């Protein structure tokens, strides 16, 4: 059987039950999860690994597909819409009377199919469930609507089956046996990468790789060094900015994310390095973990 892999974004208001849903969907199968409840604002919530598939759950529709798409064999899948998830789960509380406009706004411009999950039906009645289903059908015309109770795990298996049916055929995006230190390095590099995406225009993130060269832990401090690899001097200049100001901004925000995430003080050093055309050089791809 072929292998499936993809990104599933869970979006919805903070009280909609996203975390409960995550726990119900992922159960014991979780490989990595952010360490504390409040960190769900981070992109990756968890990864479900199985011999035949890998589901990367994340909590924003602005999922950036990692640059693991660099092998030429995958290049044709890189379209202009790299910020799209493969599937979006919109979690909404059945008793939510307020406007869901802010959440719907996040869906604008996403090309991914949307599934509406009407949660907390255990706190409601059949008539209300029916009304809500009609409401969402008209409002969004989603690919599917499920009435669920994440807390009581009602209809969770159906959602899981639906996700698997709709995952694209694709090799795993992340290694299947993350070890914890690897894990932490991975998160650190993702947080830097996230800032590179936020602070610069398209062409910079496309040509950038982030390598964690040092990760030293002590009780109250993590010392982290990172290399940001680009392909040309002009890109290096843009990344660093006038008097190093741009890189400072990236460093400041990335460090804050890390301090939140690791609950430690972070000492972060970043260097920008030019490796001409690194994306097409096999030995670099190998070094960066793209090829076995």
- Residues flagged as binding site for GTP: 12-19, 59-63, 119-122
* The two three-digit tokens of residue 197, written as one number: 């995406």
Query: 3-class SS at 113?
Result: coil
CA–CA separation, 95 vs 20, rounded Å?
A: 17
- Helix axes 245-262 and 180-199, enclosed angle (nearest 10): 140
Q: Retrieve residue 202's tokens.
A: 């398209």
3-state secondary structure 116-150: EEEECHHHCCHHHHHHHHHHHHHHHCCCEEEECEC
Q: Binding site: which residues?
A: 12-19, 59-63, 119-122
CA nearest to 56, candidates 12, 21, 5, 103 = 5
Task: For residue 175, give Cα distances in angstroms to 106, 184, 186, 227.
Answer: 29, 14, 11, 21
Q: Which residues of 130-144 are buried (b: 16+ CB within 10 A; e: fewer)?
A: eebeeebeeebebee
Is the sign of the CA dihedral 9, 15, 16, 17 positive or negative?
Answer: positive
Rounded distance between C-alpha atoms, residue 103 and residue 90, angstroms: 8
Retrieve residue 69's tokens.
Answer: 């798409």
Strands 144-147 and 53-58 turn out to be unpaired
**Residue 159: Cβ within 10 Å count:** 20
């Amino acid at each position: 059987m072929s292998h499936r892999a993809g990104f599933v974004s869970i979006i919805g208001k903070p009280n909609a039950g996203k975390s409960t849903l995550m726990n119900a969907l992922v159960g014991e199968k979780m490989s990595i999860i952010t360490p504390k409840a409040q960190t769900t604002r981070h992109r990756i919530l968890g990864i479900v690994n199985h011999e035949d598939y890998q589901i990367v759950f994340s909590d924003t529709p602005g999922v950036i597909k990692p640059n693991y798409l660099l092998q030429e064999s995958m290049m044709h899948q890189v379209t202009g819409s790299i910020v799209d998830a493969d599937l979006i789960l919109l979690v909404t509380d059945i008793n939510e009377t307020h406007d869901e406009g802010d959440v719907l706004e996040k869906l604008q411009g996403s090309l991914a199919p949307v599934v509406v999950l009407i949660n907390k039906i255990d706190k409601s009645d059949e008539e209300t469930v029916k009304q809500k289903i009609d409401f969402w059908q008209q409002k969004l015309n989603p690919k599917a609507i499920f009435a669920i109770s994440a807390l009581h795990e009602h209809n969770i298996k159906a959602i899981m089956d639906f996700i698997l049916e709709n995952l694209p055929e694709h090799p795993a995006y992340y290694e299947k046996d993350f070890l914890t230190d690897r894990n932490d390095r991975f998160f650190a590099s993702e947080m830097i990468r996230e800032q590179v995406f936020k602070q610069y225009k398209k062409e910079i993130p496309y040509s950038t790789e982030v390598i964690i060269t040092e990760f030293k832990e002590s009780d109250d401090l993590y010392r982290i060094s990172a290399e940001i690899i680009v392909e040309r001097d002009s890109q290096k200049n843009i990344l660093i900015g006038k008097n190093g100001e741009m890189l400072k901004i990236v460093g400041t925000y990335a460090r804050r994310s890390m301090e939140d995430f690791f609950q430690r003080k972070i000492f972060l050093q970043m260097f920008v390095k030019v490796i001409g055309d690194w994306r097409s050089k096999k030995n670099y791809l190998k070094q960066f973990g793209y090829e076995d």
